[in-house]
Chains A and B, each alone.
Chain A
Amino acid sequence: MATSIAAPAAKRTSGIAKYFAWSIDHKIIGVQYMVTAFTFFLIGGILAELIRIELISPEASLMPNGAAYNSLFTIHATVMIFLFVIPMLAGFGNYVLPLMIGAKDMAFPWLNAFAFWLIPPAGLLLLSGWLVGGQAQAGWTSYFPLAGPQYSAFDGQTLWAISLHMLGLSSILGAINFIVTIRNMRAPGMGWFGMPLFVWGILATSIIILLATPFLSGGLTLMLLDRLAGTGFFNPATGGDPLLWPNVFWFYSHPAVYIMVLPGMGIISEVLPVHSRKPVFGYKAIAMSSMAIALLGFTVWGHHLFTTLSPLARIPFMITSMLIAVPTGIKVFSWLMTMWGGKIRFTTAMLFAIGFLSMFVIGGISGVFLASVPVDIHVHATYFVVAHLHFVLFGGSVLAIFSGIYHWFPKITGHMLDERLGKIHFALTYVGFFLTFFPMHFLGLAGMPRRVFTYDPKYTSLNVLATLGAFTMAVAILPFLANFFMSVRNGKPAGKNPWRALTLEWTTDSPPPDYNFEGIPVPAADPYGYGTPEGAAYLAYDGHIPLSDAAMTPAIEAPTAGD
Chain B
Amino acid sequence: MKSNRLATVGIVGAVLIAIGVFVGATANVFPTQASADAGKVDTLFNIMLAIATIIFLIVEGGIIYSIIFFRHKKGDDTDGPPDHGNTALEVTWTAIPAVIVFVLTIYSYQVFADMQTPRKNETIINVVGQQFQWSFSYPYEPFPDLTADQNAIAQSNMVSNELHLPINRDMRVEIQSRDVMHGFYIPEFRIKQDAIPGKTTTARFTPTVKGEYAVVCTELCGQGHANMHNPVFVQDPADYDNFVSTLRTNARQAALDPRRADRGKQLIAQKYPCGSCHTLTDVGLKGNVGPNLDGVATRAANNADGRLTGEGAKDAAEYIRISIINPGVYLVPGFQNLMPKNFGDPTVMPEDDREAIVNYLLTQK
- Contact indicator A283/B223 (Cβ below 8 Å): no
Option from A153, A336, A451, A531 in Cβ contact (under 8 Å) with B220 = A451
- Contact indicator A340/B45 (Cβ below 8 Å): no
- Contact indicator A455/B226 (Cβ below 8 Å): yes
- Contact indicator B183/A381 (Cβ below 8 Å): yes
Residues of B166-199 at the interface with A, using a CB-CB cut-off of 8 Å, are: 179-181, 183, 185, 187-188, 190-194, 196-199
- Contact indicator A308/B196 (Cβ below 8 Å): yes
Check if B238 is an interface residue, CB within 8 A of chain A. Answer: no
- Contact indicator A452/B79 (Cβ below 8 Å): no
A374-B44, A375-B41 given as contacts; is B94 within 8 A of A330 (CB)?
yes
- Contact indicator A143/B181 (Cβ below 8 Å): yes
A313 to B59, CA, bound (A): 34
Q: Would you give the shortest CB distance from B199 to chain A, in whole angstroms?
A: 8
B70-78, B134-142, B304-312, B352-360 - interface stretch = B70-78
Option from A138, A236, A343, A529 in Cβ contact (under 8 Å) with B72 = A343
Contact mask B229-273 → A, CB, 8 Å, 1/0? Answer: 000000000000000000000000000000000000000000000
A146-B222, A445-B30 given as contacts; is B93 within 8 A of A377 (CB)?
no
Chain A residues within an 8 Å CB radius of B22? none
Contact mask B209-230 → A, CB, 8 Å, 1/0? Answer: 0000000111111111111000
Residues of B in contact (CB 8 Å), total 82
A62-70, A107-115, A119-127 - interface stretch = A62-70
- Contact indicator B187/A146 (Cβ below 8 Å): no
- Contact indicator B185/A361 (Cβ below 8 Å): no
Residues of A327-361 at the interface with B, using a CB-CB cut-off of 8 Å, are: 329-330, 332-334, 336-337, 339-346, 354, 357-358, 361
Chain B residues within an 8 Å CB radius of A150? 341
- Contact indicator B30/A446 (Cβ below 8 Å): yes
- Contact indicator B70/A339 (Cβ below 8 Å): yes
- Contact indicator B71/A138 (Cβ below 8 Å): no
- Contact indicator A368/B93 (Cβ below 8 Å): no
Q: Would you give the shortest CB distance from A47 to chain B, in whole angstroms?
A: 16
Check if A326 is an interface residue, CB within 8 A of chain B. Answer: yes
- Contact indicator A278/B81 (Cβ below 8 Å): yes
- Contact indicator B191/A377 (Cβ below 8 Å): yes
Q: Would you give the shortest CB distance from B277 to chain A, in whole angstroms?
A: 10
- Contact indicator B29/A531 (Cβ below 8 Å): no
Q: Would you give the shortest CB distance from A335 to chain B, in whole angstroms?
A: 9
Check if A318 is an interface residue, CB within 8 A of chain B. Answer: yes
Contact mask A430-469 → B, CB, 8 Å, 1/0? Answer: 0000000000011001110111111100000000000000
Chain B residues within an 8 Å CB radius of A144? 180-181
Q: Would you give the shortest CB distance from A365 to chain B, in whole angstroms?
A: 5
Chain A residues within an 8 Å CB radius of B115? 374, 377
Residue from A145, A334, A528 whose CB has the most chain B CB atoms within 10 Å? A145
Chain B residues within an 8 Å CB radius of A424? none
- Contact indicator B66/A339 (Cβ below 8 Å): yes
Chain B residues within an 8 Å CB radius of A371? 101
Residues of B109-132 at the interface with A, using a CB-CB cut-off of 8 Å, are: 109, 111-112, 115-116, 131
Chain A residues within an 8 Å CB radius of B30? 378, 445-446
A445 to B112, CA, bound (A): 18
Chain A residues within an 8 Å CB radius of B55? 361, 365
Residues of B40-78 at the interface with A, using a CB-CB cut-off of 8 Å, are: 40-41, 44-45, 48, 52, 55-56, 59-60, 62-63, 65-67, 70-73, 76, 78
A141 to B221, CA, bound (A): 12
B1-9, B83-91, B148-156 - interface stretch = B83-91
Check if B97 is an interface residue, CB within 8 A of chain A. Answer: yes
Chain B residues within an 8 Å CB radius of A141? 220
A246 to B67, CA, bound (A): 44
Check if B18 is an interface residue, CB within 8 A of chain A. Answer: no
Option from B187, B193, B222, B226 in Cβ contact (under 8 Å) with A446 = B187
Option from B59, B72, B216 in Cβ contact (under 8 Å) with A361 = B59
Option from B79, B108, B219 in Cβ contact (under 8 Å) with A278 = B79
- Contact indicator A442/B83 (Cβ below 8 Å): no
Chain B residues within an 8 Å CB radius of A325? 97, 101
- Contact indicator A145/B223 (Cβ below 8 Å): no
Check if A137 is an interface residue, CB within 8 A of chain B. Answer: yes
Chain B residues within an 8 Å CB radius of A382? 218
- Contact indicator B198/A241 (Cβ below 8 Å): yes
Option from B70, B179, B223 in Cβ contact (under 8 Å) with A66 = B223
Check if A266 is an interface residue, CB within 8 A of chain B. Answer: no
Contact mask A380-399 → B, CB, 8 Å, 1/0? Answer: 11100000000000000000
Check if A31 is an interface residue, CB within 8 A of chain B. Answer: no
Closest to A377 in B: B192
A381 to B89, CA, bound (A): 37
Check if B325 is an interface residue, CB within 8 A of chain A. Answer: no
- Contact indicator B180/A145 (Cβ below 8 Å): yes
- Contact indicator A358/B63 (Cβ below 8 Å): yes
Check if B19 is an interface residue, CB within 8 A of chain A. Answer: no
Option from B80, B111, B180 in Cβ contact (under 8 Å) with A146 = B180
Q: Would you give the shortest CB distance from B167 to chain A, in whole angstroms?
A: 20
- Contact indicator A336/B59 (Cβ below 8 Å): yes
A146-B222, A339-B70, A343-B72 given as contacts; is B185 within 8 A of A531 (CB)?
no
Check if A369 is an interface residue, CB within 8 A of chain B. Answer: yes
Option from A137, A330, A334, A361 in Cβ contact (under 8 Å) with B56 = A361
- Contact indicator B79/A530 (Cβ below 8 Å): yes
Contact mask A210-227 → B, CB, 8 Å, 1/0? Answer: 000000000000000000
A316 to B190, CA, bound (A): 22
A209 to B289, CA, bound (A): 41
Residue from B62, B63, B220 whose CB has the most chain A CB atoms within 10 Å? B220
- Contact indicator A447/B31 (Cβ below 8 Å): yes
Chain B residues within an 8 Å CB radius of A354? 63, 67
A70 to B221, CA, bound (A): 10
Check if B146 is an interface residue, CB within 8 A of chain A. Answer: no
A277 to B40, CA, bound (A): 48
- Contact indicator A454/B223 (Cβ below 8 Å): no
Chain B residues within an 8 Å CB radius of A344? 66-67, 70-72
A369 to B53, CA, bound (A): 12
Interface residues in chain A, defined as those with a beta carbon under 8 Å from any beta carbon in chain B: 65-67, 69-70, 137-139, 141, 143-146, 150-151, 153, 236-237, 241-243, 276-279, 281-285, 307-308, 311, 314-315, 318-319, 322-323, 325-326, 329-330, 332-334, 336-337, 339-346, 354, 357-358, 361-362, 365, 368-369, 371-375, 377-378, 380-382, 441-442, 445-447, 449-455, 528-532, 535-536
18 additional A-B pairs beyond A146-B220, A242-B196, beta carbons within 8 Å, are A66-B226, A144-B180, A146-B180, A243-B199, A279-B84, A285-B94, A311-B112, A315-B109, A319-B105, A323-B98, A334-B85, A337-B89, A340-B65, A358-B63, A372-B105, A375-B108, A378-B192, A381-B185
Which 9 pairs from chain A and chain B are nearest by CB? A236-B198, A447-B187, A66-B223, A452-B226, A278-B80, A531-B82, A67-B223, A531-B79, A381-B218
Q: List 10 A-B contacts (CB under 8 A).
A: A276-B70, A278-B82, A337-B83, A340-B66, A342-B80, A368-B104, A374-B115, A378-B190, A445-B30, A446-B29
